[in-house]
Amino acid sequence: MRRPKKYEAGEATQYISRRAAIRKLQLSLNDFRRLCILKGVYPREPKHRRRAQKGSSEIKILYHTKDIRFLLHESIVWTLRDYKIFAKKTSRDRAIKDFRNLKRRLALFPEIKLDHIVKERYPTFIDALKDLDDCLTLLFLFSTFPSLHLIPREQSNLCRRLTIEFLHYVIASKSLRKVFISIKGYYFQAEIKGQKVTWIMPHYYPFKPQSRQEVDFKVMSIFVEFYTILQGFTNFRLFHGLNLAYPPQFPSSLLQDNEDTFKDEASFVSDRIAALNFELLRTDKVQEDEEEPDIDMELLEQDGDSKRIIKMKQEAQEVSRLRTLFKGLKFFINREVPREPLVILIRSFGGKVSWDASVFPGATFAENDETITHQIVDRPSLSTQYISRDYIQPQWLFDCVNQRQLLPTNDYFLGETLPPHLSPFVDSKRDSYIPPEEKALHDPSLIETHEQSEEESEEDEAEKEEEEADQELLDAQLQLAYQQETAEYKKYGGPDGVNEDEEDLSEEDDEEDDDEEDVDKEDVDEQTKRKQQEKEKMSVQSGKVHKVNKRQVHKAEVDEHRLQARMVKPRHRNLFRKLIREKQTKEKEEWLLRKKRRNIDADTKEAKKAAKREARKLAAEAAARAAKLVK
Amino acid sequence: MTKKLTIKRKVKEPEPQNEAPDSHESSDNEEEEEDLLQAVKDPGEDSTDDEGIDQEYQTDSSEDLEFESDEEGNYLGRKGAEGSSGDDDEESAEDEEEEDDADAKKSSKNNDEEAATTSKSIKKSQEKPTSSNKVVPVVPARDPSKVEYADSDTSDEEDIRNTVGNIPMHWYDEYKHIGYDWDAKKIVKPPKGDQIDDFLRKIEDPNFWRTVKDPLTGQEVLLTDADIALIKRINSGRIPNEEHDEYAPWIEWFTSEVEKMPIKNVPDHKRSFLPSGSEKKTVSRMVHALKMGWMKTTEEVQREKQEKRGPKFYMLWETDTSREQMRRIHDPVSAPKRDLPGHAESYNPPPEYLFDEKEAKEWHKLKDEPHRRKLHFMPQKFKSLREVPAYSRYLRERFLRCLDLYLCPRAKRVKLNIDAEYLIPKLPSPRDLQPFPTVESLVYRGHTDLVRSVSVEPKGEYLVSGSDDKTVKIWEIATGRCIRTIETEDVVRCVAWCPNAKLSIIAVATGSRLLLVNPKVGDKLLVKKTDDLLAEAPVLDVIENERIKTAVQWANAEPADQEKGVRVIITHFKPIRQVTWHGRGDYLATVMPEGANRSALIHQLSKRRSQIPFSKSKGLIQCVLFHPVKPCFFVATQHNIRIYDLVKQELIKKLLTNSKWISGMSIHPKGDNLLVSTYDKKMLWFDLDLSTKPYQTMRLHRNAVRSVAFHLRYPLFASGSDDQAVIVSHGMVYNDLLQNPLIVPLKKLQTHEKREEFGVLDVNWHPVQPWVFSTGADCTIRLFT
């Protein structure tokens, strides 16, 4: 039997380096990259890199051999090769100025077909939904792009179309769950068929020229090429699931993809938002079939009241409440507010929305409509205000959605300093630092009352102080008045003057009596003291409580624990150290945040107090001035 | 300004110039041209001078130049449009014709006349375009260079003709001349008057306003009335030629009417009546192509393009979860999702999430290694939504995500999600393993240098310590009082109290001498008995060999020493490092690390005899130990421990410590377990029955471990280290052989002070109580109870 050579079997044959893969596929690096992106083939991390690389220890990009063999049978490999041939032939035609042939060739441009790849990468629809995050984020980004060298207008136009369609689906299905304004963009999370789909809508206007090293648009464009196909099929299925016509039909006045709209960026964007404000055509002609039976609660309850079921029930109730959160509310968006995210938000929770018709198309009602309940404003002040509506800042909507209830609007009024905007994506039961605002959200009764009581106590103190101060003021004023009175009295002289002197005398007598009594009391005291001492001698003294020094005990415990920690098995020692270090950094982080918060709170409190004191001082001064005037 | 010369020139020139056009044009063309010219000239010819016309043409170019400068190119532009090169040629031809006449006349002229002629000639030139319009189709284009040559040739009225050509004249600013005439002589610039001259002339000369300087020659030219009229006309935008009639009747040279009769009488060819065969072929080919669908009409092409635009979508997945059997990539690993944002990423985060100065500084400092930052972005707070700008790194982040998706190696890994506590072995709580020493209860002070060694009396009342201050001190344990101090001549390395309770002897290793000291404490009977025992040396019946003799000498102590309590002095040939007793108290072993193959010695007290057990040295011996029960002898070299059978005189076992340097060892009272301390921070527990490798390695200390000691009764052991700590541990050995020893660290006692990197040097247990004594470099002995 032949003795097997090294690296002829096992891991070494499982992996293939990129170089070898390219050679095997007979493609250029660019084509290979394109193929990998489209087919979703990625490098693998071998278990033993050295073995997988046939003994060399430098880090190479390794692919699974089976993946590469799989690529070998892909039909688009031929299309990629056709591209190359096409490029050669057309360039030849161009060079010899054979324009007729060139025209013919250009018409026969080899189109790449990706449908089968979508099916192959996502065998079930749920798989596709699971992977929709990156897809949507990238499409939303590309839908805002201008026409670039590597990104044709058609592509960003298609992106725009697909994202609008998706947003329409989200609005129609009311599947939006969480929203968040980050410094990077607006995060949206929808729950579609049980899958959480999160995407980012960048702040306006995300595009800026990038150097080649920073961002390679070519690569992103290839991703988008695939993602548009994926999103298209996903949209198709989603729309059909809701009995909506696909492609969606918009009001004819909107969204005309002619050349003019392509050129004008502003109208391009505004059209896109306008489209969101209209209902879509349905195939089944049944308007708003309302509540669909989500989970049959009764059926579940029969199984038994386990905690999980209760939780599910609560969740379902919350969601149903969320879906109709803005129902019956009418919003008007001022022109300085970014409309797109707000329109999605309001429309998907049942609200009605409009904006200034003179600035952007698609408005459904005017600003002077008396039935508007909320006007969303993002400026410090507004000249004309209606009494019938609340002027709120856009954060209110986001916070409402995240807390799944309509919040009081007074914190969000025009020009008000906003409360912190918290992320809805953090785990509320995590063991790291939780800011007090979040604590208040989860346990409003306890924390708020606590805070209130604290505040109250503080306020009480402050009030007391204030009251005292006021009292003093009053007293001073009274004193003044009294002195004035007496002065007047002395001036003019009164019949009661003599009586007053008598009263004084009697008071003096009383005092003398008191002194005598005191002497008597002292004698009595000595006797009792003696008795008491005697008693004390006989009595059983109460035992002293032995106080345990908590700190020492704690220290001893820590020492003990440390000693035990030294008994960790040698093979676990590094892991143990790592874990401990992680834990320590986490704790440190938490401690730092807590400390910062404490300092900030203290500062604000101090500032408040100072302000109050200042105010009081002013009041006192004013009072004094008034008193002087009186004088 | 002499006219003759110019005329001469013209006389000379005509032939070649005539030839030039002739050669280019066909003869009939020329004739025609001449005819035309004649016709045009007719109106002009009635004026007096033929020469004038001629001359006018010559001046033409120069005057052009002036106009150019006057009118900022307006005129020039017009002229350029009007006069093509063909015109010029014509002119030249015409000139030549007329020159003949001029020659014949040869009349002299005055200036005025000349002026008159120039004006006329200008008119002529203006007239020209109209005529040329008609002629254009007849006269083909000529080489411009040639024209220019001809032009310059004929069009100079003066003998001073500049041959420099069309160059910027300021090139001659620095020279006295302004070019060259036909004879290649310099044309000297006319004297240039200063401003006063100019001014005077302005005053004196009535014609000053109409004098113009010819830039080409530097001569002054006086403009005639006609010239001025012409300039005025041009300025006002009229046709320069006054006499030109714009509304003259149109002469139709080529009739627009179609003649009924053909000009030539040749009949048409048959081919012209027959349909083209090749065209028919192409048409039929196209029809066929259309039929077969190879070719498409423009409408069809448009429609197809419209259809092709954008991908087509259809129902790709029939249901949500059904999957079709399809080949997929091998073992797919889905990419992990991006982390969702926390509070810190909010546009309006709680204030504590914002970086303070220190954090911001650190964040900026880690620019080169962004993965070490605690957040990949800098938290920011905006007062309102309208102030939030686009995130500057958004594109980059999306791009990096794309790179991650196609370029990042993926593997399935089990994520270890355990608590650190889980890794700590489950051990009984120290509280359940009491008693053990927990607090420092006594400190024995008195030594002035580091205390090397400590040993306790078997009954547990007294304590002996040896120090670097060359003294041995005997202490009462209970009170901490120093009972006796025995001064020696050298540093005391080791003290050991005889474990036999019936003897009161302390072995003191000081320098290279081993002193056997009677401490004279405790039971007086016992003291006396010991004294008696050590008083006289037994008679040696065996003759000692040379090797031993040179190594060891036994001697009774001097009277002075006797008083101190020293009874026997065993002088070694090298400094002694360690002394240890056999359990019964008759044998004791000493270690001299420098003694090479004689570094370990065993002394027998009763016979006052010494033995050298090893003939070969197996390494630097660190310490030795007697087995408590068996006749075994443990020898620790730097790396290994060898166990010898003293009876059979052979090696039983070699224990591999896998450490760099052993410092000390201690054996469990039952004799099955050995504890070894090393200078590389470790303590090794050997189960002698189990293996030659350590059963457990403990890294309890943070620095070199100096000594270890087992308690005789309790399952306790203690270790002292350079990190100033004495660690008391529980070391339970079970009688059941299947059960492994249980080791639990109990208490860290850290009260010793640090002196020059030394902490605790020696530890020893009280023989009865769970008390531990430790000696330190801080000159103290401490008792922990």
A238 and A342 assigned to the same domain: no
For the four alpha carbons of A156, A158, A160 and A166, in that order, the dihedral sign comes to: negative
pTM for this entry: 0.65
Q: pLDDT digit string (tens) for B667-683? A: 999 888 999 999 999 99
Compute the average pLDDT of residues A216-233.
94
Residues A210 and A175 in one domain: yes
Interchain proximity B337–A133, CB inside 8 Å: yes
Q: Which two tokens stand for residue B433?
A: 């393993």
pLDDT: which is higher, B6 or A526 = A526
Q: CA B743, B747, B751: angle at the middle one, nearest 5?
A: 140
Q: Is residue A344 one of the residues assigned to a domain?
A: yes
Per residue in A357-385, pLDDT (tens digit) is 887 777 888 888 888 999 999 888 888 88
Kindly state whether residues A347 and A278 are assigned to the same domain.
no
Residues A140, A88, single domain; the answer is: no
Are B747 and A563 a contacting pair at CB < 8 A?
Answer: yes
Tokens of A405: 């209830």
Least confident of A102-116, A311-325, A469-483: A469-483
Contacts of B317 in chain A (CB under 8 A): 119, 122, 124-125, 128, 233, 237
pLDDT value of position A266? 60
- Tell me the pLDDT tens digit for each residue of B48-77: 444 444 444 444 444 443 444 344 434 433
| Interface contact B375, partner A, CB < 8 A | no
pLDDT at A531: 82
- Please indicate whether, in this complex, the C-beta atoms of A393 and B424 are within 8 angstroms of each other: no
3-state DSSP assignment of residue A62: strand
User: Does any CB of chain B come closer than 8 Å to the CB of residue A38?
Assistant: no
Which of A137, A236, A379 lies nearest to residue B398, judging by beta carbons?
A137
Q: Is residue A569 part of a domain?
A: no
ipTM for this prediction: 0.82
Residue B402 contacts A, CB cutoff 8 Å: yes
Q: Quote the number of domains for chain A.
A: 5
- Whether A600 and chain B come into contact, CB under 8 Å, resolves to yes
- What span, in angstroms and rounded, lies between the C-alpha atoms of B519 and B531? 10
Give domain status of residue A400, yes or no. Answer: yes
Please name the amino acid found at residue B342: G
A476 with A607, same domain: the answer is: yes
Strand, coil or helix: B294: coil
Would you state the pLDDT for residue A270? 67
Identify the band that residue A125 occupies on the pLDDT scale cut at 50, 70 and 90: very high
Residue of B nearest to A219 (CA): B402
pLDDT value of position B50: 42
Interface mutation vs chain A, best among B395, B729, B746, most A CBs within 10 Å: B395
Quick count: other Cβ atoms within 10 Å of Cβ B45? 13
Does residue A208 have a pLDDT over 60? Answer: yes
CA dihedral B241, B247, B252, B255 (to 10 degrees): 140
Residues 414 to 453 of B: which have CB under 8 A from any A CB? Answer: 416, 418-420, 423-425, 427, 430
**Are A256 and A156 contained in the same domain?**
yes
DSSP A416-474: PPPPPPPPTTS-TT-SS---HHHHHHHSHHHHHHHHHHHHHHHHHHHHHHHHHHHHHHH
Residue A237 confidence (pLDDT) above 70 = yes
Residues B43 and B241: their CA atoms lie apart, in Å, by 12
Whether A184 and A256 map to the same domain: the answer is yes
- pLDDT value of position B738: 82
Judge whether residue A480 has pLDDT over 90: no
Residues A163 and A265 in one domain: yes
* pLDDT value at A346 more than 60: yes
* A155 & A100 share domain: no
Q: Is B334 on the interface with A (CB under 8 A)?
A: yes
The domain B431-784 is classified under which CATH number: 3.40.50.2300, 1.10.645.10, 2.130.10.10, 3.40.718.10? 2.130.10.10
Distance CA A127, CA A135 (A): 13
For residue B131, give both structure tokens.
């005529």
* pLDDT at residue number B237: 87
For B320, phi then psi, to 5°, come to -75, -40
pLDDT of residue A464: 59
Beta-sheet strand order (sheet of B780-784): B440-445, B780-784, B772-776, B760-765
Chain B positions in Cβ-Cβ contact with residue A100 (cut-off 8 Å): none
Return the pLDDT at A264.
Answer: 57
Q: Identify whether residues A18 and A82 lie together within a single domain.
A: yes
Residue of B nearest to A209 (CA): B395
- Would you say residue A208 lies in a domain? yes
Q: Do A380 and A330 have their domain in common?
A: yes
Taking the Cβ of residue B316 and every Cβ of chain A, the question of whether any pair is shorter than 8 Å is answered with: yes
Q: Is residue A298 part of a domain?
A: no
Q: Is A587 on the interface with B (CB under 8 A)?
A: no
CATH 2.130.10.10 maps onto chain B at: 431-784
pLDDT in tens, B244-266: 888 888 888 887 788 888 778 88
Contact of B110 with B221, CB cutoff 8 Å = no
Do A46 and B411 count as a contact with CB atoms less than 8 A apart? yes
B519 within 8 A of B464, measured Cβ to Cβ = yes
Digit-coded pLDDT (tens) for B354-406 = 998 999 999 999 988 888 888 899 999 998 888 899 999 999 999 999 999 99
Q: Is A544 a member of any domain?
A: no
Decide if pLDDT at A483 tops 90.
Answer: no
pLDDT for residue B683: 92
Where does a domain end: A107, A138, A156?
A107
Of A221, A252, A285, which closes a domain? A285
| pLDDT score for A284 | 55
A183 reaches B (C-beta below 8 A): yes
Does residue A430 share a domain with residue A418? no
| Token pair in block for residue A512 | 């003398």
Q: What is the pLDDT of residue B137?
A: 38
Residue segments in chain B with a per-residue pLDDT below the cut of 50: 1-158
- Domain containing A30 equals 11-107
